[in-house]
Structures are given as C-alpha cells and as structure tokens.
Amino acid sequence: MKTTFKSVIVFLVLATCSCKKEQVNEPNALPSNNASSAVKQDSLNSEDTNYLVTSAEGSRLEVVLGGMAQTHAKDINVKEFGLKMVQDHSLEHKQVVNMAGSKNVDVPNHPSKDQQEEIDELSKYYGDEFDKQYISYEVWDHKQDIKDAAGEIQDGKDTDVKNMAKMWTPILISHLEYAEWVAKKVDAPVYHDDKDGH
C-alpha cells in the first residue's frame, strides 16, 4: 500500500473502447463487522503493526479515490467501481481502526503523505484519461494489497490480525478481478506487480 503513484502514471494514448456489453461479476459480499471477538489477545510483532497501519492508510486512500471517481470519471463502469471501493473500504477502515484500538496500536485516519501526493496527481485528470489512470492504478494497487495480506497471514503473530487479513483476502481478490474487468472496458493498460509498477 505504501506506493508512489507517480511511478505508475505514464503517458497514455487515449482510445475509445468498443467492447460489447458484459455483466459485471459482483465482488463477494462482505462478512459482518465482528472479526475480532477473542477475549485474550496475542502480542503483536512488527508485521502485525505494519499491516494495521498500512491497511488504515490504504483503506482511506481507496475511499478518497473512489469518491473522486464519481466526479472525475466518464465511464459508468469506473464510477460504479469507485462507489464499490468507497463502500467496502469504508467498512475495512472501520474494522481496522477497531482492531487497532483493541491492540493499543495508533493508526492514521488519513492517507499517508505519499498517498496524498497520489491523490493530488489523480485529481488533475478527467474523463477518459482519469478512467484509464485510475483503474490502472487500482489493478496494480490491489495486487500489492493482496501481497500485504499474504505477508501478514504468513509472518504475523497476532491471531486476530491474521484472521482479519484472511477475511479480507477474498474481498481484495474480487476487487482485483472487478478492476481488471473495468480496465478492459476502458482499454486501460495493466501494469505488472513489480516495485515500479511497470
């Protein structure tokens, strides 16, 4: 989640998409907001703490960008995707904040400094160009989010935090599949999931 959007924003040649209409496969329904109910909490390691902090920052970023899509996007599929991100990641942020509070971990209620720069960069674009750059970023970013969750599941120590990562992994995968579908609709480039996003 701690990525630099400038590294994935490249010069895009605007093109119209003539794809025939398909039905969107909606992401899986979210589980109820009761991920952590254990009375006795395990001690956290650095992986647990980092996952909580980056999840809090990343979920806020998704909410902001999804809201931006409502006024900057042209394609209805991009707008609907952005709305889905607002809905799902608002819930994620609430769950992360609640979990962090139960673990005495301070997490931000806003995107990181680097992420704010990403927001500022995307806010410059409208219409077709916004559609392409926003959805390309979403494909790439959700791949990183899935990696972050996998890292917590493998290397985290706290059972509750690990279970939260497990709970959100299929949701993030459904977001990625949705974003890839929209990317095809708007003829947006899809970046590899390496460090530079190329």
The whole-model pTM stands at: 0.76
Domain tally, the chain = 1
CATH of the domain at 100: 1.20.1260.10
Share of the chain above pLDDT 90, in %: 68
Residue 158's domain comprises 44-185
Domain contains 96: yes
Domain contains 26: no
Domain contains 179: yes
Domain contains 89: yes
Residue that has been written with the tokens 């706290």 in this structure: 158
Neighbours of 62 (CB within 10 A): 27
Domain contains 21: no
What does each C-alpha distance from 48 to 71, 129, 178 come to in angstroms?
36, 37, 28
pLDDT grade, residue 67 (50/70/90)?
very high
Domain contains 27: no
> What's the pLDDT at 194?
53
Q: What is the pLDDT of residues 118-136, one digit of tens each?
A: 899 999 999 999 999 999 9
Domain contains 124: yes
